[in-house]
A = this chain, B = another copy of it.
Amino acid sequence: MIEEITIRYLDSFKDQKPVDPLFIEGLPGIGQVGKLVAEYMIHMLGAEKIGEIHSIYLPPQVILDETGLARLARNELFLFRGEGKDLIFLVGDHQSTSNEGHYLLADAYCDIAVELKAKRIYTLGGFGVGHLVNEPRVLGAMNRAELRPELEAAGVRFDREEPGGGIIGAAGLMLGMSAERGIDAVCLMGETSGYLVDPMAAASVLAILSKLIGVPVDLTRLNERASEMEKVIEGLVESDKLQKDEELTYIG
């Protein structure tokens, strides 16, 4: 019988032990903010893949690459070995399709963090506000009160009211579940409309995360993507306005 959750490390990884790594979770979510940040970092830092996670709680499908090669929906682990700054990344195709699966997967992710001796977890996500945001704030949450000053110093904002609904999925659960394991965890949420993939929110989150972990990441390409997106949105807004004007003219 298939395991409910399977974690496999690549053979290439089995000899090496990351040293006091930071664990960065960037799974899909609102505005794909966390996913954009983590995948951009993996790309820019040249992190190497070290493992894969499959689960019956992920959607029951295969993903095709552009050549037609199929693979199961999965999550992946990457490792960046910096100078005294090892980073583990958790990225992937999907989160759980069921409530119970969210708990079981987040539990498995925390077990990985323990096994790899992560000294801190950063979970990344978007905070959906339902309208376009020009200068996205980065809201924070943490699983130990003493972490807040450090976050504020790096520009993380705290809003007594937001996010009022809590944090759903892996980005939230890992905060709660790592506390029980004695690992500090921080969630960074980029403000986003929530309607579109949002590289602007991602750039805001990455700027602050980079400062917090002390690993510089060149933001140029992400900012370019953000600018392109901004033009797309301006186009949409403009055409929407035009349409409304036309409607008015037509009606008038």
Q: Does A239 have its Cβ within 8 Å of any Cβ on chain B? A: no
Interface string of A174-208 (1 = CB under 8 A from B): 01110100000001000000000000000000000
B72 engages A145 (CB within 8 Å): no
Q: Does A167 have its Cβ within 8 Å of any Cβ on chain B? A: yes
Q: How many copies does the complex hold?
A: 4
Q: Does A2 have its Cβ within 8 Å of any Cβ on chain B? A: yes
A64 engages B141 (CB within 8 Å): yes
CB < 8 Å neighbour of A158 from B68, B72, B104, B140: B68
Number of A residues near B (Cβ < 8 Å) is 52
How distant is the Cα of A142 from the Cα of B107 in the complex, in angstroms?
33
Q: Does A61 have its Cβ within 8 Å of any Cβ on chain B? A: yes
| Interface set, chain A 1-21, CB cutoff 8 A to B | 1-2
Q: A1-B107, A141-B70, A145-B67 are in contact. Are A172 and B57 (CB under 8 A)?
A: no
Q: A48 to nearest B CB, angstroms?
A: 21
